[in-house]
Chains A and B, each alone.
Chain A
Amino acid sequence: MEPEYLLARAKDENILEKGECGGAVSSIFQYLLDCDLVDGVLNLSHGEDIYDGIPSLIEDSKDLIETCGSLHCAPTMFGELISKYLQDMRLAVAVKPCDAMAIKELENRHQIDGDKLYKVGLNCGGTVLPITARKMIKLFYQIDPADVVKEEIDKGKFIIELTDDSHKELKIDDLEDEGYGRRVNCQRCEQKIPRNADIACGNWGTEPGWTFIEIITSKGKELVEKARENGYIEVKAPSGKAVAIRGKVESVMIKMAQKFQNKYLEENYPSLEKWDEYWNRCIKCYACRDACPLCYCRECDLEKEYYEDSGDTPPDPLTFQGVRLSHVCYSCINCGQCEDVCPMEIPVARIFHKMQKKYRDQTGFTAGISDELPPLYSPEKE
């Protein structure tokens, strides 16, 4: 399908005000729930503050208002939540590109039934770990993180809005040079617009109060059309300039990501000695495996007696991380969940991403993007 662009916003006044960029995404969810096209909407709701995004399943469209507004300090992952706990539901889900990649790959591997899903993509320039965000706001903005009512990432800046309506912004580049800012996985991520979802929504190139939507699949096209026909959103065509700006934002961000890939996976890549130091910390807690959306085997090789060492830690990296790498590194979507959850601060995602890149360069396969299965699974002769 040829890409199709439009601008949309909510017709419901409440959502228009509370939602991000005119609340088109929330309105589309509202349409899906009201017209009983889905049983639930999986999205993020605010927990105790703006640094706390909690995955929430909304089953009544009245509750959608809780999920309005974007959160950049919520590095969540939906893939496994759907494949493990929500298989029985018709679902609409708001997906960042990494969520979309996880879901698509799980669909390819028959772990998720794609027919039951509406994937509403959200453009993503990256997420910030909540505690990192709080520390950097205190340290560099010299603001009490509790006084921040809203945060936004725009034009390379991390912008915070305070209780008195004032704004303060700093360049993300500068923050990242100091070891703060976006998660390092996000810095390396090239998927800024989730073109593996049904539609991709965002604010790049848009005018204030409107959401820029790229329609990707025919399912997405029908969704937006029906939401409009049923009076949930209004739409208009974006200007040529808007489309161009959006394209430019994307290409700048991809270039930056490539620069970061080079930085983290080549220039500053840990030495073998450093990796040994990292592996020595491993307490064999399986958090990396369990957080990985693509590590879905019910029976894991790591727990088989012939690969498992005695209960002692650290486990031999060859038969722990090595076996895991050999199973899933080519399926790595660089979501960074493994690294986020590692109690011992081992930069697990780096080695996975590096191996995935090697594999991609040789085979052209990218998990979550490619339509076919990894060549390693192929029954064909070649």
Chain B
Amino acid sequence: MSGNDPKIIGFCCNWCCYGGADTAGTARMQYPPNVRIIRVMCSGRINPSMILKAFKEGADGVFVGGCHIGDCHYDAGNYKWRRRAKFIEDLLPEFGINDGRFRFEWISASEGEKFQKTMEEFYNTVKKYGPLQRSFSK
């Protein structure tokens, strides 16, 4: 990967999206290697601070994947996440981060193809934006 290649953090829930990534992997579907996956137990445990931290540490894009609405392993975790995700979309532009650099999606364990497709799309979007330039002095 060259220095200009986007760095993408992907938070994937253990029960669905991580499984989806796994399915994509076992089926040898190619998706951009720029995505660094962090497995979490549920999208409902992601809070806005984690997204902000990822951007602060140099991510050019942040992806969050959870179970389809209605399928949450913990019943309502992804509903909670959805409310937060909406809020994050409002918050990021206040710090000059285009909300397109943040994406969330519902991907089940069997949807390897959807995972692959989503990652490709998101990679292309983030690539188009280029590296995240922050004017903050440090």
Contact = CB atoms under 8 A, between A and B. Distances in A.
Are chains A and B touching in the complex at the 8 Å CB cutoff?
Answer: yes
Interface of A: 272-273, 275-276, 279-280, 301, 306-307, 312, 314, 316-319, 322-323, 325-327, 329-330, 351, 354-355, 358-359, 362, 375-376, 378-382
B59 to A, nearest CB: 11
B18 to A, nearest CB: 22
B49 A317 contact: no
Contacts of A319: 49, 52-53, 56
A375 B52 contact: no
B84 interface: yes
A283 to B, nearest CB: 14
Contacts of B83: 375-376, 378, 382
A355 B49 contact: no
Contacts of A312: 138
Contacts of A322: 48-49, 52, 91, 95
A174 B53 CA distance: 44
A125 B52 CA distance: 38
Contacts of B52: 318-319, 322-323, 326
Given A307-B53, A326-B47, A314 B137 contact: yes
Contacts, number: 82
9 contacts: A306-B53, A312-B138, A318-B55, A318-B136, A323-B48, A323-B52, A326-B47, A359-B87, A382-B83
A319 to B, nearest CB: 5
Main DSSP-derived SS at the A contact region: helix
A77 B86 CA distance: 31
Interface of B: 47-49, 52-53, 55-56, 75-76, 79-80, 83-84, 86-88, 90-91, 94-96, 135-138
Contacts of A326: 47-49, 52, 87-88, 91
B135 A276 contact: yes
B136 A272 contact: no
Contacts of A280: 136-137
Given A375-B83, A381-B79, A318 B90 contact: no
A378 B87 CA distance: 14
Nearest to A319: B56
Q: Which of A314, A316, A330, A359 has the most CB of B within 10 A?
A: A316
Contacts of A314: 137-138
A275 B137 CA distance: 12
